[in-house]
Structure 1
Amino acid sequence: MSATTAADHMIPQAHADHLAMPAAYADNRIHDTYRWLRANEPMGMAKIDGIDPFWVATKHADILEISRQNDLFHNGDRAATLTSQAADKRVREMMGGSPHLLRTLVQMDAPDHPKYRALTQGWFMPQNLKKLEERIRVIARASVDKMAAKGGECDFVNEVALHFPLHVIMTILGVPESDEPRMLKLTQELFGATDPELGRKPNEAQTTERGEPAFDMGVIIDFNNYFSALSAARRANPTDDLASLIANSQINGAPISDFEAMGYYIIVATAGHDTTSSSTAGAMWALVDNPGQLRKVKADLSLIPGLVDESIRWTTPVKTFMRTLTADTEFAGRQMKQNDWLMLCYASGNRDEEVFEAPDEFRVDRSPNKHLAFGYGAHLCLGQHLAKMEMRILWEELLPRLESVEMAGTPAMSESFFVNGPKRLPIRFKMS
């Protein structure tokens, strides 16, 4: 059978709209859309007012294959996250034609991507992270002690899950503990730009034609100002931290540019804790909703690594990334064109019925668990081993002391189609 075109695979408008609707990622409508797409249009074309048309990959196998073919599916040719036409135009005007406000590993392709990734890769390898285990355990134990001191009730997101991985990554990066609240606020404003509670309040000029908040360049400026000062300090007086490594790195025999150094600092400082926080909070939410799973893992702490992986699959903090076709090709029976835009829906791949038995059930003993939450291929998350180690250690410290837990109010997810997770999780608990 010959390949079909985009016109043959148009996604119904209601489902297409959900893909670009931040609120749909907060109230689970997106999972209804993903379920429909996997069954009926697993590689469809979305057309949404104010946004360039884009292919939508929702099946685990297709997401894997696209992630393997880095020469055919580029990260950097167009915006790497879903962007409106108005926002794209504004960014290109500001950045001299580039679609990127930042140039991080996410926006890079070969030959640059492997060179920049290699700068810090050693820091995040399991053999090096072992040296940090006791340091992380001390931080985890302090977090559990603080939770115990709350008197049996807390917002697990804002009082526990956010601060533990934040402190770990800032310690590694070399950011003083006194500056951690500033880094947390900027991260929430960056990833939660479309959330009415987390994003900066826009003025009229910062509203898109679709009536949504536009990204506030002030967040990037604030990050740049902070890390420019840190970078200058580490160039003058290097120390044994990741900021010193980035500040003094060289690419092709020349010092790393300020623009790309800023991108590196920002991605480590934000992605290095936010996604771990979300998965940790997602785990607690799921355990409260599934007390049988909590009893199971408390009775057998060797299941903690399984709890970690399942909570990462369950939450999938990075919901989507965009890719761009570098050539005309046939893929999944579709005729795709050079420069076509494509959305990878990781949270859909992680609920694919062909890969995961009962994918909408939270199972701490799920095995195998071939989730895609860290990506795959050349862009596999640099910090995956650190994230899993942090979560494992926190649960090793918390679960033996946690006697019971229940909801103490209404939990809530953040509103974002890029990175999202629990933003509020009020719980009532008993601890020993």
Structure 2
Amino acid sequence: MSVMTEADHRIPKDVADQLAQPGAYADGRIHDAYAWLRKNEPFGMATIEGVDPFWVATRHADILEISRQNDLFHNGDRSPTLTSQAVDQKVREMMGGSPHLLRTLIHMDAPDHPKYRALTQGWFMPPNLRRLEDQIRVIAKASVARMAARVGKDGVGRCDFVQEVALHYPLHVIMSILGVPEEDEGRMLKLTQELFGAADPELGRSADGPPPEAQAAPIDFGVIVDFSNYFRALSERKRANPTDDLATLIANSQIDGQPISDLEAMSYYIIVATAGHDTTSSSVAGAFWALAENPAEFAKVKADPSLIPSLVDESIRWTTPVKTFMRTVTADAQFAGRDLRKGDWLMLCYASGNRDETVFDDPQSFQVDRKPNRHLAFGYGAHLCLGQHLAKMEMRILWEELIPRLSDLALDGIPAMSEGVFVNGPKRLPIRFSMS
């Protein structure tokens, strides 16, 4: 589908291949690849077997500029996530030629994108979130209490922070806002892990892992079906018995005077139900992992709680749960000294931009007092993350409740990251701690 030529800047195969290998995002190899690219080929072209060629943006400035130019770089013309040729063909066959199995905000461009974004934007703005702060604090306190219950008679607590706290705290918050009954939260968590963790042998639905041809961006179509069936039933209930929640709003939404389609309604539910907690879970766990490995940084924020807001931003920069998004060039253009052609595909590497040496001082270190912190983890421009204010509020409240009570923190085993090219984060974090 691309019209790139051999004269364009080619990324060496051993570096390019890392971009499409889920395992590289789990074991840290991706950061070595990013460092090489920023230094040697910051806007080069990757040619990977089984995947259409694509440009790769690894510099902070280039990612910002692409994100600003929404008319030149589209989300919806091709898949906005890295997808193998085999998966792309299968999706197009299923969806009547469309490259999208879902149609969420990340799959849209203007004029549809601003219209659909406006449907729920008010729910995620600070004035509305302020009324939820007390409710979120109650949930945070309950998470801290669960940790405290793991402290033994010797005064030492042990737990897997991911499983005990990081997964469930933001999950409960977003499901409360969405209107999903608490008894269904476990089902939502499992489906989210199967969706975003499809490439991970422990989290994906298939015990044997995804088929080889789908390694770049495996999709478990059954997970989408299960999500849609659940939310279709919920939508019917919310139309019959409206309540003050996002599910009711989505179920009754209209665009240009017409009800939104079933595909777009199900897509809206799914993106809120998954991205609404998974990325926050990853940032919380990633920060706790870093604090456990850096006692001096833990001591800083412990001694000075006014550092919690900057800890929140550093947590998000450090983990960068959304690793990549794809864009499609809409017209022939020059960018970063390269000749782009209409239809070219390109990858935004947010985790690379967030460790750009020209923007961040000592970017490979975790600093709770980092200022300024111009991270890109929420994206930029028209597609700036809708839930950014909620995510930062959740993290701030959790740290306000947890850090003052912690007197000691250390790793208690070997942590692990999930495997994934689009989204990934800690999946295991055994810790040892003491609390007051």
Contact 1:170 1:180 in 2 (8 A): yes
Contact 1:228 1:262 in 2 (8 A): yes
Q: Which of 323, 328, 334 is the equivalent residue of 2:338?
A: 334
Asked whether 1:156 is paired with 2:129, we answer no
Asked whether 1:294 is paired with 2:298, we answer yes
What is the alpha-carbon distance in structure 2 between the residues aligned to residue 260 and residue 322 of structure 1? 20
Shift of 1:150: 1.4
What secondary structure, in the 3-state scheme, does the structure 2 residue paired with 1:286 have?
A: helix
What is the alpha-carbon distance in structure 2 between the residues aligned to residue 339 and residue 248 of structure 1? 36
What is the alpha-carbon distance in structure 2 between the residues aligned to residue 427 and residue 354 of structure 1? 34
Q: Which residue of 2 aligns with 1:20?
A: 20
Q: Which residue of 1 aligns with 2:186?
A: 181
What is the alpha-carbon distance in structure 2 between the residues aligned to residue 169 and residue 314 of structure 1? 23
Q: How many residues align?
A: 428
Q: Which residue of 2 aligns with 1:119?
A: 119
Amino acid at match of 1:18: Q
What is the alpha-carbon distance in structure 2 between the residues aligned to residue 255 and residue 214 of structure 1? 31
Q: Which residue of 2 aligns with 1:168?
A: 173
| CA deviation profile, 1:363-409 (whole Å, cap 9, x unmatched) | 01100100000000000000000000000000000001001011111
Q: Which residue of 2 aligns with 1:348?
A: 352
Q: Which residue of 2 aligns with 1:144?
A: 144
Asked whether 1:90 is paired with 2:83, we answer no
| CA deviation profile, 1:201-255 (whole Å, cap 9, x unmatched) | 1679x62436789422110000001000000000111100000001001000001
What is the alpha-carbon distance in structure 2 between the residues aligned to residue 399 and residue 211 of structure 1? 39
| CA deviation profile, 1:3-23 (whole Å, cap 9, x unmatched) | x97634100101100000000
What is the alpha-carbon distance in structure 1 between the residues aligned to residue 317 and residue 220 of structure 2? 30
Q: Which residue of 2 aligns with 1:29?
A: 29
Q: Which of 298, 307, 311 is the equivalent residue of 2:315?
A: 311
Q: Which residue of 1 aligns with 2:68?
A: 68
Contact 1:313 1:373 in 2 (8 A): yes
Contact 1:5 1:336 in 2 (8 A): no
| CA deviation profile, 1:268-303 (whole Å, cap 9, x unmatched) | 000000000000000000001110000000000000
Amino acid at match of 1:299: A
Structure 1 residues 292 and 323: alpha-carbon distance in aligned structure 2, compared to 1, 3 A threshold: same
Q: Which residue of 1 aligns with 2:195?
A: 190
Q: Which residue of 2 aligns with 1:11?
A: 11
What secondary structure, in the 3-state scheme, does the structure 2 residue paired with 1:45 have?
A: strand
What is the alpha-carbon distance in structure 2 between the residues aligned to residue 312 and residue 109 of structure 1? 26
The within-5 A match list for 1:197-346 is 197-201=202-206, 207-209=211-213, 214-346=218-350
Q: Which residue of 2 aligns with 1:80?
A: 80
Q: Which residue of 1 aligns with 2:361?
A: 357
| CA deviation profile, 1:133-168 (whole Å, cap 9, x unmatched) | 000000000000001101200000011000000000
What is the alpha-carbon distance in structure 2 between the residues aligned to residue 85 and residue 5 of structure 1? 19
Unpaired runs of at least 5, structure 2: 152-156
What is the alpha-carbon distance in structure 1 between the residues aligned to residue 7 and residue 315 of structure 2? 37
Contact 1:322 1:343 in 2 (8 A): yes
Contact 2:51 2:216 in 1 (8 A): no
Q: Which residue of 2 aligns with 1:391?
A: 395
Contact 2:308 2:399 in 1 (8 A): yes
User: What is the Cα-based RMSD across aligned positions, in Å?
Assistant: 1.4
Instruction: Give me the identity figure in percent.
Output: 76
Q: TM-score, normalised by structure 1?
A: 0.97
What is the alpha-carbon distance in structure 2 between the residues aligned to residue 340 and residue 295 of structure 1? 48
What is the alpha-carbon distance in structure 1 between the residues aligned to residue 212 and residue 228 of structure 2? 24
Contact 2:54 2:347 in 1 (8 A): yes
| CA deviation profile, 1:27-62 (whole Å, cap 9, x unmatched) | 110000000000000000000000000000000000
Amino acid at match of 1:195: D
Q: TM-score, normalised by structure 2?
A: 0.96
What is the alpha-carbon distance in structure 1 between the residues aligned to residue 405 and residue 320 of structure 2? 27
Contact 2:417 2:424 in 1 (8 A): yes
Contact 2:82 2:217 in 1 (8 A): no
What secondary structure, in the 3-state scheme, does the structure 2 residue paired with 1:51 have?
A: coil
Q: Which residue of 1 aligns with 2:410?
A: 406
| CA deviation profile, 1:318-352 (whole Å, cap 9, x unmatched) | 00000000000000000000000000000000000
